[in-house]
A and B are shown apart, each in its own frame.
Chain A
Amino acid sequence: MLTQRAGEPRTPYPNVYLAAFQASLQAKFEYRVDLVIGVVTSMLMQGSALSFLLIVLRNTPGLAGWSGPQIVFLFGMTAAALGGSEILFNQIWLLPQYVVAGDLDRLLTYPVRSLLFFLVTRPELHAIGNLITGSLYVAWSLHTLHVPVFVWLMLPVWWLCGTLLYTSALVIVGCLSFRFVGPYSQQLLIPLNLLQATRYPLAVYPSWLKNVLLCVVPYGTFHYLPARFFFGKSASFWGLGLAPVAAVALALLAQGAWNLGLRRYESAGS
């Protein structure tokens, strides 16, 4: 009877999640060739997306008033947010398989926040390629367009918000597996495709899609809205600060979806 007693205030274990992330990261480093190949291929993927932009720009001077470099900024932030989420929180993609196999049991016996712990324990190092490519695009774009300094300073905030927004959307959709049990993760492609859509200025899209990407899954808040302001397309600086609000709100929704999902969790065997 030598562990902590009930009645003591429940304290979070921040260092547990870091420690777990670090341990999982270490495990990944074993496959070094794999890592290099993975980084290169994810950069290839980003390059491929950019090739479409090149095709587009050959056939039109700009999109809805956005020039090539300005669109590249959007490309870069999207790639960076994608990379961030995949490096830190990638295990969400495996949730459907875990639910089907009943493999969440062990996780639920640990005195940790199950969602956070689940997310951080399988980093996808290939995504470093996305992060690198994204950063390069953003840096090139902002440098070419001579943006004010505060933009550079706010970049980490927006990046973090983007990562959180995307991860939260994945979690919310992923929690459908608790209700529709099956070893498939196709549903997770929807938040991904929605994110990819934000590579292009939202003004290009019909209003129903624009509203989805600004209000339902507010991806637009972490790069499109701020860029509209500092690229001089909009005078409203609301755009700069909406991202953290949206990110926190979506994250809370995600946690709620997870909690609801766990109550339906049926494990396996009897």
Chain B
Amino acid sequence: MTITLRTEALNKTYRRKIRKPGFVGALKGLFSGEEEAVQAVSDVTFSLARGERVGLIGENGAGKSTTLKMLTGILVPTSGKLEVLGFDPSRQRRQLASRIGVVFGQRPQLLWDIPVQETLSLLRTMYRIPASVYDVTYPQAVERLDLGPLLAVPVRKLSLGQRMRCDLAASLLHAPDIAFLDEPTIGLDVSVKEQVREFIRDMQQRFESTLLLTTHDLKDITETCDRILLLDRGKLLFDGSLREFERRFATKRRIVVELERPASDEVREQLAKDIAELGAELVECRAHRAVVVYEGDGAAPALTQRLLSRLPVSDIVLEKSDIDSMVANIYRRSTISTEKSVA
């Protein structure tokens, strides 16, 4: 197993100026210069082998993009060791750049006001892509991402989804050894997301590239990755396969119940005591909704029975543990969506 990427105790601290609000604050700001340190990434250590497909997840502000930018040489780490394809990203940026592909989902910026087709040819010159590669990647990209009608259009006239697709194609045109994709499906329609995931999977397989993908859409992970890295407030909380993730965090399952009318306090208390025997917890019982969280598969039928007998139920959903709820559980927030999970 060749290691393509390795980090050790990676740290990144930002310095932020504290701005006070209001007119007087702004005047004060003219003369003082207080700063505070924000630790974006804290002691992160992991390594990737060639051909691995890894998903980097976490809340906003967890440090995913910062990590990615350090790996690609855009940001300089505050401390720690970092090696990508044998290079130090910030010091050997150009050498590394010719062998990696990067996509920024939130700000796709193909640099110029020129048609997509010309941007792609320019990139061909830039990466010195040999015909053997270009003749595969270019037609593949055009076909699978439906770029045909977009080729003659200047980049600034494209919609977000169109720009994303072009950006993706542009970044993988040179068949990079590692593809870093920062939220590649954000803001895209569901059908386009599918298209993009397929394309990524395909290119990865074809060229045996390593894939590091950050995303909020956990379906991206389940469909394209084998391994998960979970960042929370700059720290690496979890590093393992998808299976391990499910095993470790999928302990709790939920039953969501819609009520015809609010349940009285006594009923609520009684119910809570009742289901506690089965190892379940009534986490929510508001006006028209109740949520029960429990561990273990076997408890489901008995719990359902109790709920149906005690509460004026109009609808009941047994949620299968999916990765969204696993992550939500990790952060201890209740997912407000009442989406039925896909079995």
A110 at the interface (CB under 8 A from B): yes
Select from chain A the residue with minimum beta-carbon distance to B106. A269
Contact check, B76 vs A263: say whether CB atoms are below 8 A apart. Answer: yes
Render A258-270 as a binary contact track against B, CB cut-off 8 A, 1 for contact.
0000011111011
A15 at the interface (CB under 8 A from B): yes
The 5 closest A-B CB pairs, nearest first, are: A111-B98, A27-B113, A111-B97, A109-B102, A2-B133
Q: Which B residues have a C-beta under 8 Å from some C-beta of A?
A: 14, 40, 60-66, 69, 72-76, 85-87, 90, 93-95, 97-100, 102, 104, 106-107, 109-114, 118-119, 122, 125-130, 132-133, 154, 171, 174-177, 207-208
Report B277 CB to chain A, min CB distance, Å.
45
Q: Which A residues have a C-beta under 8 Å from some C-beta of B?
A: 1-4, 6, 10, 13, 15-16, 19-20, 23-24, 26-28, 30, 102-114, 121, 263-267, 269-270
Bound complex: CA A120 to CA B42 (Å):
38
Contact check, B14 vs A266: say whether CB atoms are below 8 A apart. Answer: yes
Contact check, B126 vs A2: say whether CB atoms are below 8 A apart. Answer: no
The one of B73, B111, B126 in contact with A106, judged by C-beta atoms closer than 8 angstroms, is: B111
Name 23 interchain pairs, CB-CB below 8 A, sorted by A: A1-B207, A2-B207, A3-B98, A3-B130, A3-B174, A4-B99, A4-B128, A6-B99, A13-B128, A15-B125, A27-B113, A105-B69, A105-B109, A108-B73, A108-B93, A110-B126, A112-B97, A121-B112, A265-B75, A267-B66, A267-B75, A270-B63, A270-B65
Q: Which residues of B contact A13 (CB under 8 A)?
A: 125-126, 128
Bound complex: CA A104 to CA B69 (Å):
11
Among B62, B73, B93, B94, which residue has the most Cβ atoms of chain A within 10 A?
A: B94
Bound complex: CA A104 to CA B176 (Å):
21
The one of B72, B74, B75, B132 in contact with A2, judged by C-beta atoms closer than 8 angstroms, is: B132
Contact check, B129 vs A3: say whether CB atoms are below 8 A apart. Answer: yes
Select from chain A the residue with minimum beta-carbon distance to B66. A270
The one of A2, A6, A15 in contact with B130, judged by C-beta atoms closer than 8 angstroms, is: A2
Q: Which residues of A contact B133 (CB under 8 A)?
A: 2-3
Q: Which residues of A contact B72 (CB under 8 A)?
A: 108-109
Q: Which residues of B contact A104 (CB under 8 A)?
A: 74
Q: Which residues of B contact A28 (CB under 8 A)?
A: 113
Contact check, B76 vs A27: say whether CB atoms are below 8 A apart. Answer: no
Contact check, B106 vs A113: say whether CB atoms are below 8 A apart. Answer: no
Bound complex: CA A114 to CA B94 (Å):
9
Report A42 CB to chain B, min CB distance, Å.
21
Q: Which residues of A contact B86 (CB under 8 A)?
A: 6
Report A49 CB to chain B, min CB distance, Å.
31
Bound complex: CA A16 to CA B127 (Å):
9
Among B65, B76, B114, which residue has the most Cβ atoms of chain A within 10 A?
A: B114
Q: Which residues of A contact B132 (CB under 8 A)?
A: 2
Contact check, A6 vs B93: say whether CB atoms are below 8 A apart. Answer: no
Select from chain A the residue with minimum beta-carbon distance to B87. A6
Bound complex: CA A267 to CA B75 (Å):
7
Contact check, A263 vs B90: say whether CB atoms are below 8 A apart. Answer: yes
Q: Which residues of B contact A1 (CB under 8 A)?
A: 175, 177, 207-208
Bound complex: CA A15 to CA B75 (Å):
28
Bound complex: CA A157 to CA B40 (Å):
49
Q: A263-B90, A267-B69, A270-B66 are in contact. Are A109 and B125 (CB under 8 A)?
A: no
Contact check, A16 vs B63: say whether CB atoms are below 8 A apart. Answer: no
Q: Which residues of B contact A109 (CB under 8 A)?
A: 72-74, 97, 100, 102, 171
Report A166 CB to chain B, min CB distance, Å.
24
Contact check, A107 vs B111: say whether CB atoms are below 8 A apart. Answer: yes
Contact check, A24 vs B208: say whether CB atoms are below 8 A apart. Answer: no
Contact check, A26 vs B114: say whether CB atoms are below 8 A apart. Answer: yes
Q: Which residues of A contact B106 (CB under 8 A)?
A: 269
Contact check, B128 vs A106: say whether CB atoms are below 8 A apart. Answer: no
Bound complex: CA A267 to CA B132 (Å):
35
Contact check, A111 vs B113: say whether CB atoms are below 8 A apart. Answer: no
Contact check, B65 vs A106: say whether CB atoms are below 8 A apart. Answer: no
Bound complex: CA A156 to CA B207 (Å):
49
Bound complex: CA A193 to CA B85 (Å):
47
